[in-house]
Amino acid sequence: MANNLSKYASDFPVLNQKVNDERLVYLDNAATAQRPNQVVESLVHFYQNDNANVLRGVHTLAERATAEYEEARRKIQHFINAPEPEEIIYTKGCTDGLNLVASTYGEANVKAGDEIVISIMEHHSNLIPWQQLAIKKHATLKYIHLKDDGELDLEEAKTLITDKTKIVAVAHASNVLGTISPIKELAAIAHQHGAVFVGDGAQSVPHMAIDVQDLDVDFYAFSGHKMMGPTGIGILYGKRELLEAMPPYQYGGEMIGFVHQFESTWAELPYKFEAGTQNIAGAIGLGTAVDYLENIGMDNVQAHEQELVNYLLPKLEALDGVTVYGPQDPAKHTGVIAFNLDNLHPHDVATALDMEGIAVRAGHHCAQPLMAYLGLTATARASLYIYNTEADADKLLSAIQETKEFFNHGTVKA
């Protein structure tokens, strides 16, 4: 199974290159995925044939652009099984979507003495907006911690979420540990206490089938570039009744109903939250990325990555001098794998791997509270996607072994 999707590799010409005279092995997919030809071609087609502003023109190009823009919205609606397209808001990315919720729903509904609950695993994008909202509103920010195996502590969550809790915000999958959080259960607990649940789907939407109705999340944000779409485009899903009650996020063109000299009214959903000219080509390109993923099948995407994790994780954990973070059970792990080599800084590890043509990330991964919780300053991180293979995993393992030997003995294995 781990090589069954290799037929798609030809759609990604960026992978057909050498880095430092070595075959490129791209394992930085948690930061951004590569784009297939189909997505790039959809951008070129739009700019060469249909380029016009949407929603505000009656000429042919404007009507074509608007039709493509709204068709992409419907594709995304069906992709995550949202009830209606009006609940799909175009944003700049996952970060923008989470800030939108904090700045609108949070601003209007959180007051002094209220509680906001997040997890210690959160990316800064799903931490700082709530941290700053809590500071501004004199609310209490509470953290759900981890069990010894790296999984979120659901029992602790049940004690932290109370009738004072207004918002629970948790990543569906960790961008550091690969931990998959039980957000359906967390949303149910939040609702029992009258709170709303905000899901960060940046590391889940590209890798597994998502049904926002089944999860019963109130808001769910994700980015296009992590799922092979363009950069600068993302999605916020929100339940209609909540979105309708929220004030606008930004003001300007297209988000208005009518403007008087001293007051204004707002447009209907979703346009109330889409002020100004949006990333039209990005939205259309994201719709193409959805087509591409649906053609593969999200169950196949997840199964492919799971096979690779099943292959790589035990071998990596078995290497002497290598520490792997997150769940040890591959079945509870996404394709994100953080690790360190004894006595080596992660940046040195990443640089050494790059010399072998292997692209990984090193640093705190925008999760400094998690690093502090784990007693670390940084890790190296390899992250898998559909175009990766067992051969890529083998090259990573071999390069890690050579890196250890070089730094320990000053020589590289022949």
Query: Which residues, 6 or more positions from 369, have their beta carbon under 8 angstroms from its beta carbon?
Result: 120, 122, 127, 143
User: Are the beta carbons of 165 and 193 closer than 8 angstroms?
Assistant: yes
Residues 372 and 41: their CA atoms lie apart, in Å, by 43
- Tell me the Cα Rg of the chain: 22
Q: Which residues pair with 198 in a beta bridge?
A: 169, 219
The tokens 């002497």 sit on which residue? 320
Which structure tokens are listed for 26? 């791209």
Residues 29 and 337: their CA atoms lie apart, in Å, by 11
State phi, psi for 384 to the nearest 5 degrees: -100, 155
Residues 166 and 283: their CA atoms lie apart, in Å, by 32
Residues 330 and 385: their CA atoms lie apart, in Å, by 15
Q: Which residues pair with 168 in a beta bridge?
A: 117, 197
Query: Which residues, 6 or more positions from 169, have their beta carbon under 8 angstroms from its beta carbon?
Result: 98, 116, 117, 118, 122, 126, 130, 197, 198, 199, 200
Q: How far is CA 85 from the centre of its chain?
A: 21
* Residues annotated catalytic, as ranges: 366
Element at 180 (helix H, strand E): none
Q: Helix, strand, coil shares of the chain as percentages rounded to 5?
A: 45, 20, 35
Q: What is the DSSP string of 276-295?
A: SS--HHHHHHHHHHHHHHHH
Element at 314 (helix H, strand E): helix 298-318
Q: In what order do the strands lie in the sheet with 322-325?
A: 322-325, 336-341, 379-383, 361-363
User: Are the beta carbons of 173 and 181 closer than 8 angstroms?
Assistant: yes
Q: How many helices (H) and strands (E) are present in the chain, helices listed first?
A: 14, 17
Which structure tokens are listed for 83? 């009830």
Which structure tokens are listed for 166? 């207004």
